[in-house]
Amino acid sequence: MSKITIVDIAKMSGVAVSTVSRVLNGHPDVGQKTRERILKVIKETGYVPNDSARNLKRTDAKCIGVLIKGITNPFFSPVIDIIEKEIDRQKYALILRHASADDDEADVALELENEKRLRGIIFLGGGAEQSADKLRQLKVPVVFSTIGSSVIDEKDMADFSTVSVDDRLEAKHITQYLMNLGHKDIAIITEAMGRRSVGHLRLEGYKDAFIERDMPVREDMIFYVDQNMEHFSIANGYRTTQRILSSGHKVTAVFCVTDLLAVGAMRAISDAGLRIPEDISVCGFDGMEIGRYYNPRLTTIKQPLDQISRETVKLLFDIIESRSSHRHIVFPGELSIGESTIKRYED
Amino acid sequence: MSKITIVDIAKMSGVAVSTVSRVLNGHPDVGQKTRERILKVIKETGYVPNDSARNLKRTDAKCIGVLIKGITNPFFSPVIDIIEKEIDRQKYALILRHASADDDEADVALELENEKRLRGIIFLGGGAEQSADKLRQLKVPVVFSTIGSSVIDEKDMADFSTVSVDDRLEAKHITQYLMNLGHKDIAIITEAMGRRSVGHLRLEGYKDAFIERDMPVREDMIFYVDQNMEHFSIANGYRTTQRILSSGHKVTAVFCVTDLLAVGAMRAISDAGLRIPEDISVCGFDGMEIGRYYNPRLTTIKQPLDQISRETVKLLFDIIESRSSHRHIVFPGELSIGESTIKRYED
DNA sequence: TTGTACGCGTTATCAT
DNA sequence: ATGATAACGCGTACAA
């Protein structure tokens, strides 16, 4: 039983391939009886059109590609959900593609572009990094979502759009919040990646807060996650916090650049027999659902993912329909105060 | 700037298309200088071969398709990670495809099969349900992972493989565990889907436990999640637990058929001013990472996802290389006792 | 080592 | 309303 094609269907229905094709694509100009006959044969044989061949010929196709780096990150789940709905509302199809850690996202994007007939691409996670040149070869507009413009070279600003919060600024805010609670010995758990990673941006914001108050930035309070495991994972937060606790440094608050890290941190602190927030305050960044359900509730910077997602799609379509050129939209984050932070006790 | 093809590359390099094709596919029989020249042109133009056209012709291609229903579920994250690595070890490529809630998975699978040149397909989540007939049209072997054979019709057992735990049995185990702690008023939070859903299977296991002890199964202790939101979500666990608490029924333990539901349940119980486990014991099912980090740690049935994932890939390759026919592998779950369950206080 | 020509399954164009 | 046929971009015999 070799694979069955449109030709077979045509033969079995006693019509020409073009007629079958018309039925397949919902063209109106085909007789009622002929249509039914063909449909019947299709159902019986279980024929499925070959998408490759289709895309090879097709000119239209209303598709938006969504490229996501590391499907593993639950942070993107709500974003994808909303983007999917929004694209649907525009009567477009969404093609979700995942790039594994070692894939070059730009390559995947280029592949996707001429494999399907895309009208636009949304990037979730990852970052432009070096591959901006490759990305520029894309013929369809690119919007980075939840990724700030600071991860992009200035010269690329006109070629891509970004929709996000200001990672650096918001990180400064939450650090200041901790300071206002009286904390001085504030450790940070972050990622040691390139200058354009969110980890680095949020670290910069942390530093900004100290610098603005003329307080020294203590390098021994900066803890980098284990490179050998998933960077922004609960487990890594746990392990890194253990390093903090055994470092001997006095620490009254920990800023985790990610909610997931914070969850791990809280568990590690509890396991060490310390109380949150009485002994150590913990805060995160992102505003993930789990933070609102954890015990204690996590203080964090809530990203307005709803707005970000919606605006991402809206902006993309504005560009596709040339109602707008590339823009860089920044939404304010919201300090969401939970039960994981408290005034520092005077000693 | 229209799209650039292999013909353009050939012209620009002053060679025939076949030569370019050879370079593209890493064939050895091409002159060193010619190869370099072509490579240079490719790099300069940023040419990317059209995958659709490729797959149309290709005969080989070592790909495994992984179909996942609802990317939203973090439960699959570790599974995907491992499957990806295992497939990689076999020098195969992994193509991850996501089917949205309303897609027919069988259709997506069929599409994927002749779009790419697959050698096998792994299903994550979802279920065979009615579409077994469609699935049978697939020319490559299908393995359901983390999905038990009980979701499949008997007559289909020889056509598909499954690798999973015994949902029903394990659900009985954990219910018995609660009973052994002295609990009698045990509510269950589950899903009201078809007879083949995990929600239903785990509910059956819950009932089994009661029946085996000649205890009545109380319908008023069965709580179904809100159909209008994501079924197995934290938020749904929260809301459904609120319904339990306001039902007026005496409840000393809650079995949530999913860890995510359990997290929501625990938060709802805390918010109601009750203590876990003293006032109400809570347990889940799955063994997700968050359960081990939550406060209190969640008692649950841990699925051996490591083994399941590894065995899924191994079995698939056994079938591909016809070293085995379709099988149904069942791994035992592990009762992972946390801090969320305790002996029922005598009143 | 390199080039030519055909076919993969489909859609679009032009006839009928 | 339907049929015939030329592309679409690439891989691969086969020929040179």
| SS (HEC) of chain B | CCCCCHHHHHHHHCCCHHHHHHHHCCCCCCCHHHHHHHHHHHHHHCCCCCHHHHHHHCCCCCEEEEEEECCCCHHHHHHHHHHHHHHHHCCCEEEEEEECCCCCHHHHHHHHHHHCCEEEEEEECCCCHHHHHHHHCCCCCEEEECCCHHHCCHHHCCCCEEEEECHHHHHHHHHHHHHHCCCCCEEEEECCCCCCCHHHHHHHHHHHHHHHCCCCCCHHHEEECCCCCCCCCHHHHHHHHHHHHCCCCCCCEEEECCHHHHHHHHHHHHHCCCCCCCCCEEECCECCHHHHHCCCCCEEEECCHHHHHHHHHHHHHHHHCCCCCCCEEEECCEEECCCCCCCCCCC
Q: Which chain A residues are within 8 Å of B234, Cβ to Cβ? A: 289-290, 293
Cα dihedral A76, A80, A86, A91 in deg (nearest 10) = 160
For residues A173 and A157, membership in a common domain is answered with: no
Q: Is residue A145 part of a domain?
A: yes
| Residue of higher predicted confidence among B292 and A346 | B292
pTM of the model: 0.88
* SS3 track for A127-184: CCHHHHHHHHCCCCCEEEECCCHHHCCHHHCCCCEEEEECHHHHHHHHHHHHHHCCCC
List all nucleotides in chain C with at least one atom under 7 A from a protein Cβ.
Answer: 1-5, 7-13
Highest mean pLDDT among A35-39, A109-113, B247-251: B247-251
Asked if B73 and B101 count as a contact pair (C-beta separation under 8 A), the reply is no
User: What three-state secondary structure class fits A287?
Assistant: coil
Q: What is the pLDDT of residue B216?
A: 97
Q: Distance from A218 to chain B by nearest Cα, in Å? A: 29
Q: Of A8-12, A144-148, B192-196, give the lowest mean pLDDT range.
A: B192-196
Is B236 a residue whose pLDDT tops 60? yes
- The total of structural domains in chain B comes to 2
Is B130 a residue whose pLDDT tops 60? no
Give B35-67 pLDDT, tens digit per residue: 888 888 888 888 888 878 888 777 666 789 999
> What is the distance, to the nearest Å, from the Cα of residue A84 to the centroid of all Cα atoms in its chain?
13
| Separation between Cα atoms, residue B120 and residue B320, nearest integer Å | 7
Q: Of A45-49, B38-42, B157-161, B200-204, give the lowest mean pLDDT range.
A: A45-49
Q: Is residue B338 part of a domain?
A: no
Phi (first) and psi of residue A49, to 5 degrees: -60, 145
For residues B15 and B155, membership in a common domain is answered with: yes
The residue of A42, A87, A258, A295 whose CB has the most chain B CBs within 10 angstroms, and thus the best one to mutate to test that interface, is A295
Contact assignment for B293 to A263 by CB distance below 8 Å? yes
| Separation between Cα atoms, residue B128 and residue B328, nearest integer Å | 14
Phi (first) and psi of residue B67, to 5 degrees: -105, 125
Q: Of A140-149, B274-283, B334-343, give the lowest mean pLDDT range.
A: A140-149
What number is the average pLDDT over the span B102-110? 80
Phi (first) and psi of residue B64, to 5 degrees: -120, 130
Q: Is residue A49 part of a domain?
A: yes
Angle between helices B32-45 and B6-13 (to 10 degrees): 120
Phi (first) and psi of residue A121, to 5 degrees: -135, 140
Q: Order the strands of the B63-69 sheet from edge to edge.
A: B93-99, B63-69, B118-124, B142-145, B161-165, B328-331
Q: What is the pLDDT of residue B88?
A: 85
For residues B273 and B178, membership in a common domain is answered with: yes
For residues B259 and B218, membership in a common domain is answered with: yes
Q: What is the pLDDT of residue A260?
A: 97
| Separation between Cα atoms, residue A286 and residue A272, nearest integer Å | 26
| Separation between Cα atoms, residue A285 and residue A300, nearest integer Å | 5
Contact assignment for A96 to B71 by CB distance below 8 Å? yes
Q: Which residue has the tokens 């009254």?
A: A252
| Residue B1: band (very low, low, confident or very high) from pLDDT cuts 50, 70, 90 | very low
Asked if A120 and A140 count as a contact pair (C-beta separation under 8 A), the reply is yes
Q: What is the pLDDT of residue A307?
A: 97
For residues A80 and A139, membership in a common domain is answered with: yes
User: What three-state secondary structure class fits A121?
Assistant: strand
Highest mean pLDDT among A129-138, A171-180, B156-165: A171-180
User: What three-state secondary structure class fits A210?
Assistant: helix
Q: Of A95-109, B28-42, B210-224, B255-269, give the lowest mean pLDDT range.
A: A95-109
Burial B159-188 (b: 16+ CB within 10 A, else e): bbbbbbbbbbbbbbbbbbbbbebebeebbb
- Spatial distance from the CA of A120 to the C1' of C14 (Å): 33
Q: CA torsion sign, A177 to A181 to A184 to A188?
A: negative
Is A127 a residue whose pLDDT tops 70? no
Q: What is the pLDDT of residue A346?
A: 67
For residues B62 and B179, membership in a common domain is answered with: no
Asked if A116 and A139 count as a contact pair (C-beta separation under 8 A), the reply is no
Q: What is the pLDDT of residue A129?
A: 61
What number is the average pLDDT over the span A230-257? 96
Output the average pLDDT for chain A: 90
Is B137 a residue whose pLDDT tops 80? no
Q: Is residue B340 part of a domain?
A: no
Q: Is residue A343 part of a domain?
A: no
Is B128 a residue whose pLDDT tops 60? no
Name the percent of chain B lying above pLDDT 90.
55
Q: Which residues of B touch A (CB under 8 A)?
A: 1, 3, 46, 48, 50-56, 71-72, 74, 77, 80-81, 84, 94, 96, 98, 100, 107, 110-111, 114-115, 133-134, 137, 139, 234-235, 238, 263-264, 266-267, 270, 289-290, 293-296
- B277 prior amide bond cis, ω within 30: yes
Is A217 a residue whose pLDDT tops 80? yes
For residues B72 and B109, membership in a common domain is answered with: yes
Residue A195 DSSP code: T
**Residue B154 neighbours by CB under 8 Å, 6+ apart:** none
For residues B129 and B158, membership in a common domain is answered with: yes
For residues A150 and A239, membership in a common domain is answered with: no
For residues A266 and A148, membership in a common domain is answered with: no
C-alpha distances (whole Å) from A111 to each of A105, A258, B57 are 10, 32, 17
Give A277-333 pLDDT, tens digit per residue: 999 999 999 999 999 999 999 999 999 999 999 999 999 999 998 899 999 999 999
| Residue A1: band (very low, low, confident or very high) from pLDDT cuts 50, 70, 90 | very low
Query: What is the helix (H) or strand (E) element at residue A190, kind and residue range?
Result: strand A186-190
| β-strand pairing of A161-165 with A142-145 | parallel
Asked if B257 and B282 count as a contact pair (C-beta separation under 8 A), the reply is no
Give burial (CB, 10 Å; 0-12/13-18/19+) of B48.
buried
Q: What is the CATH number of the domain that holds A230?
A: 3.40.50.2300
Name the percent of chain B lying above pLDDT 70.
95
Helix count and strand count (H, E) for chain A? 13, 12
Q: What is the pLDDT of residue A71?
A: 66
Q: CA torsion sign, A235 to A241 to A245 to A247?
A: positive
Q: CA torsion sign, B151 to B154 to B155 to B161?
A: positive
Q: CA torsion sign, A223 to A258 to A297 to B301?
A: negative
Supply B233's token pair. 């979500």
Supply B279's token pair. 């006032």
HSE-CB at A245 with a 13 A cutoff on CA atoms is 19
What number is the average pLDDT over the span B174-188? 98
Q: Is residue A341 part of a domain?
A: no
| Residue of higher predicted confidence among B132 and A249 | A249
Output the average pLDDT for chain B: 90
Q: Which chain A residues are within 8 Å of B1, Cβ to Cβ? A: 139
Supply B330's token pair. 């069942």
Q: Is residue A39 part of a domain?
A: yes
Query: What is the helix (H) or strand (E) element at residue A307, kind and residue range?
Result: helix A305-320
User: What three-state secondary structure class fits A275?
Assistant: coil
| Separation between Cα atoms, residue A115 and residue A109, nearest integer Å | 10
Max Cα-Cα span within chain A: 91
Name the percent of chain A lying above pLDDT 90.
60
- Spatial distance from the CA of B27 to the C1' of D15 (Å): 19
Domain that holds residue B58: 6-165+304-332
C-alpha distances (whole Å) from A7 to each of A17, A30, A38, A55, B268 are 6, 17, 12, 18, 60
Q: Which chain A residues are within 8 Å of B294, Cβ to Cβ? A: 267, 294-295
User: What three-state secondary structure class fits A251?
Assistant: coil
| Separation between Cα atoms, residue A174 and residue A209, nearest integer Å | 9
| Separation between Cα atoms, residue A114 and residue A140, nearest integer Å | 10
Question: Which member of B46, B100, B115 has the closest CB to residue A84?
Answer: B100
Which of B262, B282, B302 is where one domain is finished?
A: B302
Q: Is residue A344 part of a domain?
A: no
For residues B99 and B221, membership in a common domain is answered with: no
For residues B139 and B13, membership in a common domain is answered with: yes
